[in-house]
Amino acid sequence: MRACQYSRTGDSTVLNVVEVAAPLRAKGEVIVEIVAAGVNPLDVKVRKGEFFPIAQRLPKIPGCDIAGYVQEAAPGSQFKKGDRVWGMLETGFCWVKTGTHAEMIAAPEKALALIPKEVSFEEAAATASVAITAWQALDVDRLRAGQRVLIHAGSGGIGHIAIQLAKNAGTHVITTASTGNTRFVQEVGADEVIDYTCADFVKELKNRPVDVVVDSLGGDYTARSRAVLKKSGRYAHIMANGWSRLGYGILMSFLLEVWQILQGLIVGLLGMGPKHQPVGASPNPQQLNRIGALMASGKVKVHIDKTFPLEQARAAHEYQEKGRPRGKILITMK
């Protein structure tokens, strides 16, 4: 099969589209013929060696979102050949499973769900991991209508889906975005936009505290976001996975994040401030089914910023690396 692969970590030039052996199915896995796969910030961090480099095995195929056809499943599997499936691969605290920027993958069955017929492969691949992350950060079933939710980076992959999930739960959504993206996040559903290039969200929300903050930026945003929460509120800290927006070294970023989480957990547990909820998203087919139903009924719509063929995987990674996608970037295999 064809796959985008790298044999050493580094900048995007280490990526090459090459012929590799097709994957073999292990216990609990199904072989999926991939139609489309999302590109995520994590792909860039892992490739650059910024995500626990010691734990990475090379050569490596990037990619953790998946949408395609089941090619082969074990007897008794819930899936059969030809099923349309989607999902995300698991990322642990210091390890990551990747491999979707390729024509085929042996994927864990427990990470997959059926794609609703109303949803295309492209939409499914672009949505899977950001929607699961947004769902788990918002803790959707705990949201109550009328609550005020602040979602940072509303124009990004996680952000623009989180806005829609929070709106669908009946909350009042405030988001941060740059000037060029304010209209986009309003169209996606945000009730209020704070243009972070000219306004400080802490000042804007000083006398109007919120119930929930979803933060995928971290760094100094953590303490500042906690400051705009009600004491009874919740700070969903989407972990940056070994890298910080502020560009600290890997070790410093990691230690800072661990310290922020510990501090937040203690404050929350002692009832001295908002609860701190570290978010490390994990595959969840039940949540995918619910997200799929919202997509099928038009209540959640993914915005695909740019689509690249597999041959241009390097360009796709470079586009992601600029850090300014509006919605999602996609790689298609045909």
Ligand X SMILES: NC(=O)c1ccc[n+]([C@@H]2O[C@H](COP(=O)([O-])OP(=O)(O)OC[C@H]3O[C@@H](n4cnc5c(N)ncnc54)[C@H](OP(=O)(O)O)[C@@H]3O)[C@@H](O)[C@H]2O)c1
Q: Which pair of structure tokens corresponds to residue 121?
A: 């492969």
Report CA-CA distances (Å) from 305 to 38, 327, 329.
Answer: 11, 6, 6
Q: Which residue is nearest to ligand X (CB)?
A: 156
Q: Kindly state whether residue 181 participates in binding ligand X, applying the rule CB under 6 A.
A: yes
| Using rule CB under 6 A, residue 216 touches ligand X | yes
* Tokens matching residue 284: 């969840």
**Please, which of residues 226-245 interact with ligand X by CB under 6 A?**
238-241
Strand order in the sheet with 172-177: 192-195, 172-177, 148-151, 210-215, 229-238, 275-279
CB closer to ligand X, 231 vs 324: 324
Nearer to ligand X, 104 or 279 (CB): 279
Nearer to ligand X, 119 or 163 (CB): 163
Q: In the 8-state DSSP scheme, what is residue 297? A: T
Element (H, E) at 123: helix 121-138
Asked if 157 is part of the footprint of ligand X (rule: CB under 6 A), the reply reads yes
The residue within the footprint of ligand X, chosen from 2, 33, 280, 303 (CB under 6 A), is 280
Give the residue carrying structure tokens 């489309």.
Answer: 36
Q: Is 158 in the site for ligand X (CB under 6 A)?
A: yes
- CA separation, residue 273 to residues 72, 132, 166, 207, 251 (Å): 51, 27, 23, 16, 28
Let me know: does 238 contact 158? Beta carbons within 8 Å. Answer: yes
Residue 217 binding ligand X, by CB under 6 A: yes
Residue 171 or 225 having the CB closest to ligand X: 225
Q: By C-beta, is 213 or 279 nearer to ligand X? A: 279
Binding flag, residue 331, ligand X (CB under 6 A): no
Site for ligand X in 183-202 (CB under 6 A): 196
By CB under 6 A, residue 131 contacts ligand X? no
Q: What minimum distance in Å lies between the beta carbon of 237 and ligand X?
A: 9
Whole-number minimum distance, CB 305 to ligand X, in Å? 9
Answer yes or no whether residue 310 interacts with ligand X by CB under 6 A: no
At a CB cut-off of 8 Å and minimum separation 6, what does 75 contact?
none
Query: Does position 162 bind ligand X by CB under 6 A?
Result: no
Residue 333 interacting with ligand X (CB under 6 A) = no
Contact of 30 with 79, CB cutoff 8 Å:
yes
